[in-house]
Structure 1
Amino acid sequence: MVSHDPAPADPLSLHGVVPPTVTAFHDDESLDEETTAAHARFVVDRGVHGVFPLGTNGEFPLLSDDERDRVVEAVVDEVGGEVPVIAGVGAPSTHRTIARAEHAASVGADGIVVVTPYYYPLDGRAALDHYRAVADAVSLPLYIYHIPSKTGNELSLSTLSELAAIDAVAGVKDSSKNVPWLAQAIDGHPELTFLAGSDSLVFTGLEIGCSGAVSAVANAFPELVVDCYEAYADGDEERARELQSTMFEVRDAFKAGGAYMSGVKTALRLREFDAGPLRSPLRLKDEEATAELRDRLESIDDLEW
């Protein structure tokens, strides 16, 4: 079993299960700060080890800068001091990213997650300049969010090596699903903490040296993902594999009759936690798809809800 301890130089010692918490909306799609904070409480009370507001599941590209700031404030006020709160601050421009990072620092976030800038293609030099500028602007640990399928910008291993030399860079949340890239990145950078960014790779990520995972499934079923992590940490790989298989089933259920993210908020409703709609043009599952989701979830033996 590979060590899954966070890197010694990571000030937050990030590990375990870190859900990319949802942003809640009222029926008119206006921001619901109270329920957004309540969702952070929902996952923390069920054993997660940190929270990541304003990740992909937090619908951050669909929010205004003011709304993003209010989400971070709500989550920090609710669970700050209990678990690390690492706030998503990334934007296409360095200017906007720094502004969100400065706000996160001012309201007590423990760290920042900076997605690779998106829409415009970047070379390694541009990525390096961007992360250096953000790191220089605030005194918080910075975690690189690598998700090339959404940003269109993949970080090469050589660029990652240059980024790792920035003092503030504490780790990487890798959602590339490129296991060879992730394995080589971990092998080359024991000074960084790595978090697997896909529910399909929680067990695999731990096997190759990740300290934990950012899990969308954990937004709706935190108990399942926490149990998988704890089984692995206790040396029970067989049980951890079984629970990873259960996560595969949950992922497939989430995708039925609509987009994966609609499965998260719809599943939360089935657990009697209503985080409201997704913001347009995203949408929740319709009645037929919701019934199918319920049936599929109820058929999963290891899922307690």
Structure 2
Amino acid sequence: MNNKKLEGIFTALLTPFDENGNILFDSLQRHVDFLINQGVDGFYVNGSTGESFLMTPEERKKVLEAVIEANNGRAAIINHCGNIGTDLSIDLIKHCANLPIDGVSSVPPFYYGFSKDELVAYYNDLANASDKPFIVYNMPKFSGVIITPAIMKELRKNKNIVGLKFTHNDFYALQQIRASDPDLIIYNGFDEMAICGFSLGCNGAIGSTYNVIAPLIIKLRNLCSENDYVSARKVQTKINEYINGMVMNGKHFAITKYMISKLEGINYGIVRRPFSQISDVEKKVADNMIASLTEN
């Protein structure tokens, strides 16, 4: 199984909603085209960035279909099918099993505090539900579950499990996973720490801020691949200056959608309740970031 197409910079797509909560499919497709022209390698669809847990399964299926149509085979697509239960997740995997995508992924089952054996069984059940390459998602800050090196070693016994999205700040664990499993595809997950992930051998990165700062993360990746970490630190600093503004008051998704709308000249909509909308003060901060981006 050749999974080289799964390496690189993947934008975790946001889902645009109108004031009534309807998905703005045309805006989503125009955004996909814009990002491909900026040079991203792929898309991570229906992730937490896409507000997937605020969407119905049918909506998630339609979002994936819209992205596939807009992408038209140009970039790689990983579809996040995670949900709180095995059958709910498998339903989403079955939907995309015969669609032209390159991989599927899932957060761990959350909320109930499942045991290690239940966690491993969950991932094996999902990975065996199709022949698509499967990417495990380690995001303990929100899932409450840590994918340890020992758990990852156990999961890798399944031939369909080929990757790990590492959204964690335990870089010792990342180094241990990388050193023990050189063939595993590992994505850096925290955008503000991308330089750390690349320095430890991540094959790519999946991030929400790449919706608006894709050229910067691509530049960072290229500098790290050239071992120019002096220049890479400067780029990471610039990335983090934008991140500081984008996550202001916990409104990352709302602010990013506003920035997409302004940068691309489209209506990229708003966030779904119970998320709160962007304020006038936050718009001013976003406007300054937009001006800075367009000047560079």
Residue of structure 2 in register with 1:113 after alignment? 105
- The answer to whether structure 1 residue 284 and structure 2 residue 277 are counterparts is yes
1:26-74 CA distance string (max 9 Å, x none): 2211112222222222211100011111112111101000000001111
Q: CA RMSD in A?
A: 1.8
Residue of structure 1 in register with 2:173 after alignment? 181
Give 1:146's match in structure 2, choosing from 134, 138, 141: 138
- The answer to whether structure 1 residue 94 and structure 2 residue 118 are counterparts is no
Q: 1:91 to 1:258 in 2, by over 3 A?
A: closer
Residue of structure 1 in register with 2:199 after alignment? 207
Structure 2: gaps spanning 5 or more residues: none
Q: Would you say the 8 A contact 2:127–2:134 is kept in 1?
A: yes
Runs of 4+, deviation exceeding 6 Å: none
Aligned mates of 1:296, 1:39 — CA distance in 2 = 19
State the shift of 1:234 in Å: 3.5
- The answer to whether structure 1 residue 132 and structure 2 residue 155 are counterparts is no
Letter in 1 for 2:98: S
Q: 1:86 to 1:124 in 2, by over 3 A?
A: same
* 1:22-37 correspondence to structure 2 within 5 Å: 22-37=14-29
Q: 1:304 to 1:238 in 2, by over 3 A?
A: farther
Aligned mates of 1:61, 1:207 — CA distance in 2 = 32
What is the SS of the residue equivalent to 2:164?
Answer: strand
State the shift of 1:10 in Å: 5.3
Q: TM-score, with normalisation over the residues of structure 1?
A: 0.91
Aligned mates of 1:161, 1:79 — CA distance in 2 = 34
Aligned mates of 2:251, 2:180 — CA distance in 1 = 35
Aligned mates of 1:105, 1:25 — CA distance in 2 = 26
- The answer to whether structure 1 residue 243 and structure 2 residue 227 are counterparts is no
Q: Would you say the 8 A contact 2:16–2:257 is kept in 1?
A: no
What is the SS of the residue equivalent to 2:23?
Answer: coil
State the shift of 1:258 in Å: 4.1
- The answer to whether structure 1 residue 274 and structure 2 residue 273 are counterparts is no
Give 1:294's match in structure 2, choosing from 284, 287, 292: 287
Residue of structure 1 in register with 2:57 after alignment? 65
Aligned mates of 2:237, 2:266 — CA distance in 1 = 25
Structure 1: gaps spanning 5 or more residues: 1-8
Q: Would you say the 8 A contact 1:51–1:86 is kept in 2?
A: yes
Aligned mates of 1:39, 1:189 — CA distance in 2 = 35
What is the SS of the residue equivalent to 1:82?
Answer: coil
Q: Would you say the 8 A contact 1:254–1:260 is kept in 2?
A: yes
Give 1:170's match in structure 2, choosing from 151, 158, 162: 162
Give 1:231's match in structure 2, choosing from 205, 208, 223: 223
Q: 1:234 to 1:174 in 2, by over 3 A?
A: same
1:169-223 CA distance string (max 9 Å, x none): 1110011222222121111211211000011111110100101111211111211
Aligned mates of 1:80, 1:174 — CA distance in 2 = 28
Q: Which deviates more from structure 2 when the two are superposed, residues 159-168 or residues 233-242?
A: 233-242
Letter in 2 for 1:70: K
Aligned mates of 1:38, 1:22 — CA distance in 2 = 13
Aligned mates of 1:80, 1:184 — CA distance in 2 = 37
Q: 1:37 to 1:297 in 2, by over 3 A?
A: closer
